[in-house]
Amino acid sequence: MSSVFRANLLAGQHAIITGAGSGINKRIAERFAMQGARISIIGRNADKCAAAAAEIRALGGEADGFAADVREADALAAAFEAACERFGPVDICIAGAAGNFVAEAAAMSANAFRTVIDIDLIGTFNTFRAALPLLRTARANLLAVSAVQSSMPTAAQAHVCAAKAGIEMLVRTLSIEWAARGVRCNAIAPGPVADTEGMKRLAPGGDSSWTRLLAGIPMRRAAERDEIADLALFLCSGAASYINGTVVTIDGGQSNLGSQPFGDMLLDSLQSA
């Protein structure tokens, strides 16, 4: 795990991160812990949360896991309360929990579409809403994990495109409503990230899917999880103290080429499945 940042940017701060049992959010949790933050990991799967927290403790950080589904506002609020009893008021809250599957809209039920809207968009609202009364507002930061699908209409991703676009408007609106409370609210929009559950789902055809996916990215590679974690760290640190209501894209230039190569690959993967 490497970082361009010096240690202790977040000394003594309490960061709550949803969906941090694996993938990008887990790496963000690890990175923040190494910068001195106390980490609360919230996710649906209690064992995954506990295991991720134990890994951070093994590295010398402070962390604990709290099980809750971001779709269930009351259970999520209870998990936030428990986390704050353990580590104090919230300085940083990252809404990272997400769901995805590859399907054409014509093959989706209303419940299938709603499930991703519920996890991603409603889950982000529930997360930030649960954090609000518990924030140490003098320096609080909210960060949503969006994706390039928010601005790149992508075949077989209608549910995700809609959910992520909604998240970004939510973030921009909260950045207006909650700034007077001392809260900054931003989002990151990654493209493909290596070694994540999302990419396993989005490149199901193995090497040939990857080759086609990478051909649609000017830098010809996916992001490393560390690169996403460093961006999250920057936005949640004092180094970004005047950045509010912004969505930072981190995609190696993918969105400048457009989504057609990505969408075509996903449609082909559905046909060959």
Q: Taking CA 192 as the corner, what is the angle to CA 186 and CA 196, rounded to the nearest 5 degrees?
A: 95
Task: Read off the DSSP letter of residue 77.
Answer: H
CB of 244 to ligand COA, least distance (A): 26
Identify the H or E element spanning 62: strand 62-67
Tell me: does residue 103 bind ligand COA (CB under 6 A): yes
CB of 106 to ligand COA, least distance (A): 10
Among 3, 45, 115, 137, binds ligand COA (CB under 6 A): 115
Q: In angstroms, rounded to a whole number, what is the distance separating the alpha carbons of residues 43 and 20?
A: 7
Indicate which residue of 40, 146, 175, 269 is catalytic.
Answer: 146
Among 61, 65, 99, 252, binds ligand COA (CB under 6 A): 99
Indicate which residue of 164, 175, 209, 259 is catalytic.
Answer: 164
Catalytic annotation present for 146:
yes
Picking from 218, 227, 224, the residue whose alpha carbon sits closest to that of residue 254 is 218
Picking from 167, 69, 183, the residue whose alpha carbon sits closest to that of residue 132 is 183
**Phi–psi pair at 156, nearest 5 degrees:** 70, 15
Question: Which of 112/179 has CB closer to ligand COA?
Answer: 112
Tell me: does residue 109 bind ligand COA (CB under 6 A): yes
Identify the H or E element spanning 41: strand 38-43
- The SS3 call for residue 63 is strand
Catalytic annotation present for 26:
no
Segment lying near ligand COA (by CB under 6 A), choices 58-66, 105-113, 130-138, 255-263: 105-113
Tell me: does residue 101 bind ligand COA (CB under 6 A): yes
Tell me: does residue 201 bind ligand COA (CB under 6 A): yes
Q: Which residues are catalytic?
A: 146, 164
